Amino acid sequence: MEISVIIPVYDRPELLRDCLVSLDRELAGMEAEVIVIDNASREDIGGMVGREFPRVDLRLNRENLGFARANNQGLARARGRYLLLLNPDTRVQPGAVSKLIDYLEQSPKVGVVGPRLIFGDGRFQPSTFGFPSVLKEVANLAELDRLLPKEGKPGIFLGRIFGKWFPNLFSMYRQDPAPRRVPALFGACLLVRREARERVGDLDPNFFLYWEDADFCYRMVKAGWEAHYFPGAEVIHHGGANYYLPEQDSFFRYYQSLLYFFTKHYSPVRVETLRAAVLSIISVRLLIERMKNAVSGKRAETEKRLKNLRMVRELYRSFRIE
């Protein structure tokens, strides 16, 4: 078996249909298998796949196990020399899969490679990113990152000037056309060499959603492999992971996974620095949200934001390093 494609899905059958149609074209002539893991969707994913794509290997979970665990279920069933972890909200562009395979075959040190991700209208979308840091996450939580443009000429300029020297801060801004080694790849589309996966292991199931891709790339690098970005292959990624979280809030899951990543890979000092910084910023944001509520009167929207902030505050307050 040349390649196994693994797609975890929750609802939105129309997105999965478009993804599978694009794969039918791409995998023609290859010895390939497609494995879909349905995380207890409320919509009839199984019926749609069974009717329209009978050759797909479909597994129906009784509950939403999260993104990482669903991928791992697919990895356990996969037989291919190459393993393509693919989001259901993607459309693989012509030649992308074969180009990614060729890149791995020509690059024996590379354990995982990702394509150039774009939006449906062709706009730039970040495909790579750096490992988390206290500085970056404070800027993110304080919404200061909005001051740094991620697209257009300013974003290209930032990436070209600073991306090479500060890959963990500016990797996602770079739009140059050359393949390159990167810290981490967004998990919307990852082609993994089987030998690398066998050495590194599965995605960490403790990540329900968010940062599992960074953790996987981090472990890949620690094991002696490289992660590369190959813009010669393109994949449309609609983006937005909310459909993986039917009852959980994505804001909370993001900071839950972030804390776990720090605890797993960084020193206790860095973990405590992150915890103190997040708690400080959240205190300020809670105050600002209360003031906004008093002025605007949009109570429902404000209460949702306040709830999200309080949940993260409670998580970081109660956390203790073991």
Structure confidence at residue 124 as a pLDDT band (50, 70, 90) = confident
So what's the pLDDT on residue 268? 96
The mean-pLDDT minimum among 60-64, 100-104, 144-148, 306-310 falls in 144-148
Share of the chain above pLDDT 90, in %: 68
- Rounded distance between C-alpha atoms, residue 156 and residue 75, angstroms: 36
- Rounded distance between C-alpha atoms, residue 152 and residue 213, angstroms: 26
How do residues 265-276 score in pLDDT, each as one tens digit? 999 999 999 999
How do residues 177-213 score in pLDDT, each as one tens digit? 889 999 999 999 999 999 999 999 999 999 988 999 9
pTM: 0.89
Give backbone dihedrals phi and psi of 2, rounded to 5 degrees, phi first.
-75, -45
How do residues 45-98 score in pLDDT, each as one tens digit? 999 999 999 999 999 999 989 899 999 999 999 999 999 999 999 999 999 999
| Angle subtended at Cα 4 by Cα 123 and Cα 15, rounded to the nearest 5 degrees | 40
| Angle subtended at Cα 59 by Cα 58 and Cα 65, rounded to the nearest 5 degrees | 140
The domain defined by 3-244 carries CATH number 3.90.470.20: no
Residue 164 has pLDDT above 90, yes or no: no
Task: Give the H/E segment covering residue 180.
Answer: strand 180-181
Contact between 74 and 6 under an 8 Å Cβ cutoff? The reply is yes
